[in-house]
Each structure stands twice: as structure tokens, then as C-alpha cells.
């Protein structure tokens, strides 16, 4: 079933949802047909199924068949010291596809990019949402320093460190924020700062040095294997 994004709020069964402009163009490109059933996500946990009733060049009309409120798959968030622009955009797409709840862009000594959310980022997130059939966009906070994040970090933080591990097992259903450094890693001073916090859990992966996007994928996969889905 094809998926699309639309920021709908209040829909009921049998409503007609009108898809216009770029989103309608996308559906025309993939050659949807009248009477085809599609799934619509609003990025805030709501989804709908609808049947296409009319198609024109810049407008598609969908009759709503069913509405659902989806639960998040887990409660993992990501704090990432900003790598290069292309690497960070890969991380954003990956975060949507893997169901990350919140993203905290961090400025560290070796950060290589200043993050500003813009239309390009919004389109990238929308594309990843459609591709993955995820019901939720991640909440992306404003860029902050590593120190600011550590002072206000929400609950336990899993610091993926290439050298040490201070935990062997994770509690089921725990809410965790994954902390990952930039391409050059954290400085020695920053590592000491991180380790001084009582909420930090150090986790070691037996791998060579990883690019930031690979580290994100590996760390999320590691934690997902240990954490129960949200119920």
C-alpha cells in the first residue's frame, strides 16, 4: 500500500481529503489510480486509510475509510554532536526510519556543522516518513552545547564509547537518549565531562572506528534488541 504525508488534524470517516501541489505531483509520478487505497500519515501519530476518488495534475481527492492512533514503537532519543552536513542528513533519515522519538543536535569541540531546520530538512524527513511508514516525525530540538545537554538531559543517557562499558543489561521499557560524538569523536575533556554525570551509562561496541551515521545505526540496533516495545 502506498503511503503519503499530510498534516491533517481532524478527519472523520467519509471525509474527502484533498492532496495538492508537490504531494499530488509525487502521487502522479508513482502512477496511483482511482479506487486505489493509500495510507496517510500526519507525523504526529495519526494515520488514515483512504481510497482515491479523483486525480488531476495538481490535485488528488481521497475518501477516508479508516482512522487510527498509532503508538510509538519505543522511547529512544538521539543526542548527536554534529558531523558534516551530508552525514547529519543521513542520520536524520535514519532516525525517522528507526523510530527515534527526539533528536538533540549538539555543538562539541570537533563539530563540523551548524544545524538550522529548513524546508530542505522538512522534505528529507517527510520522504523518510513515507518510505518507512512511520507515524511520527522526531521532535528536533534547537542546537545546544554538550554542556547544556548534560545539564538538562532527560533521564538516562547511553554513551557509546569505543573503550569502556559500565553496563551489561538494560531494563525493559526504559527511556533512553543515545549520545554519539562527531566524526572526530569527543575530546578528552568532553569525555571526562560526560563520565562525571550520574545518569550516563557507558556502552562499548566491539567495532573499529565508525562514521557517525554507522554509529547511529549500530547503537540504535543494539538498544532495540534490549528494549521492549511501548505498550
User: 124-150: per-residue pLDDT in tens?
Assistant: 999 999 999 999 999 999 999 999 999
Q: What is the mean pLDDT of residues 171-194?
A: 85
The domain spans of the chain are 2-69, 76-224
Residue 30: which pLDDT band, with cuts at 50, 70 and 90? low
Q: What is the mean pLDDT of residues 22-42?
A: 81
Lowest-confidence region among 39-43, 120-124, 167-171: 167-171
Q: What's residue 183's pLDDT?
A: 80
Q: Residue 158: count other Cβ atoms within 10 Å of its Cβ.
A: 26
Q: What is the mean pLDDT of residues 102-127?
A: 90
Please state which CATH number belongs to domain 2-69: 2.40.240.20
Lowest-confidence region among 71-75, 78-82, 117-121, 164-168: 164-168
User: Nine-digit cell at 177?
Assistant: 537518549
User: Nine-digit cell at 179?
Assistant: 549520545
Residue 161: which pLDDT band, with cuts at 50, 70 and 90? confident
In this structure, are residues 60 and 52 in contact, taking their beta carbons and an 8 Å threshold? Answer: yes
Q: What is the mean pLDDT of residues 188-199?
A: 90
Q: What is the mean pLDDT of residues 161-170?
A: 63
Give the class (CATH, top level) of 76-224.
alpha beta
Q: Is the pLDDT of residue 156 over 90?
A: no
Q: What's residue 180's pLDDT?
A: 93
Model pTM score: 0.88
Q: What is the mean pLDDT of residues 164-177?
A: 68
Looking from the CA of 224 toward its CB, the CA atoms found within 13 Å total 13
Q: What's residue 80's pLDDT?
A: 95
pLDDT in tens, 50-76: 998 988 878 888 999 999 999 888 889
Q: Residue 95: count other Cβ atoms within 10 Å of its Cβ.
A: 27
d(CA 172, CA 28): 44
d(CA 166, CA 161): 10
In this structure, are residues 79 and 73 in contact, taking their beta carbons and an 8 Å threshold? Answer: no
Sign of CA dihedral 45, 145, 86, 177: negative
Q: Name the more confident of 17 and 79.
A: 79
- Percent of the chain topping pLDDT 90: 50
Q: What's residue 149's pLDDT?
A: 95
Q: Is the pLDDT of residue 35 over 60?
A: yes
Query: What DSSP string describes 2-37?
Result: EEEE----S--TTPEEEEEHHHHHHHHHTT--TT-E
Q: Name the more confident of 140 and 175.
A: 140
User: Nine-digit cell at 97?
Assistant: 526510519
Sign of CA dihedral 197, 163, 176, 112: positive
Amino acid at each position: 500500500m502506498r503511503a503519503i504525508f499530510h498534516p491533517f488534524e481532524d478527519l472523520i470517516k467519509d471525509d474527502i481529503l484533498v492532496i495538492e501541489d508537490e504531494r499530488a505531483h509525487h502521487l502522479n509520478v508513482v502512477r496511483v489510480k482511482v479506487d486505489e487505497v493509500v495510507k496517510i500519515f500526519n507525523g504526529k501519530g495519526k494515520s488514515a486509510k483512504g481510497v482515491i476518488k479523483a486525480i488531476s495534475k495538481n490535485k488528488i481527492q481521497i475518501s477516508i475509510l479508516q482512522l487510527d492512533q498509532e503508538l510509538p514503537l519505543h522511547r529512544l532519543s538521539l543526542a548527536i554532536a554534529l558531523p558534516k552536513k551530508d552525514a547529519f542528513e543521513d542520520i536524520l533519515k535514519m532516525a525517522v526510519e528507526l523510530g527515534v522519538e527526539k533528536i538533540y543536535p549538539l555543538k562539541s569541540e570537533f563539530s563540523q556543522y551548524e544545524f538550522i531546520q529548513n524546508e530542505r530538512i522538512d522534505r528529507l524527513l517527510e520522504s523518510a516518513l513515507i518510505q518507512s511508514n512511520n507515524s511520527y516525525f522526531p521532535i528536533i530540538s534547537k542546537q545546544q552545547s554538550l554542556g547544556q545537554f548534560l545539564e538538562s538531559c532527560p533521564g538516562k543517557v547511553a554513551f557509546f564509547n569505543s573503550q569502556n562499558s559500565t553496563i551489561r543489561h538494560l531494563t525493559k521499557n526504559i527511556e533512553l537518549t543515545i549520545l554519539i560524538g562527531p566524526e572526530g569523536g569527543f575530546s578528552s575533556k568532553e569525555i571526562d565531562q560526560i563520565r562525571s554525570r550520574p545518569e550516563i551509562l557507558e556502552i562499548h561496541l566491539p567495532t573499529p572506528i565508525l562514521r557517525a551515521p554507522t554509529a547511529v545505526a549500530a547503537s540504535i540496533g543494539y538498544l532495540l534488541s534490549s528494549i521492549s516495545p511501548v505498550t
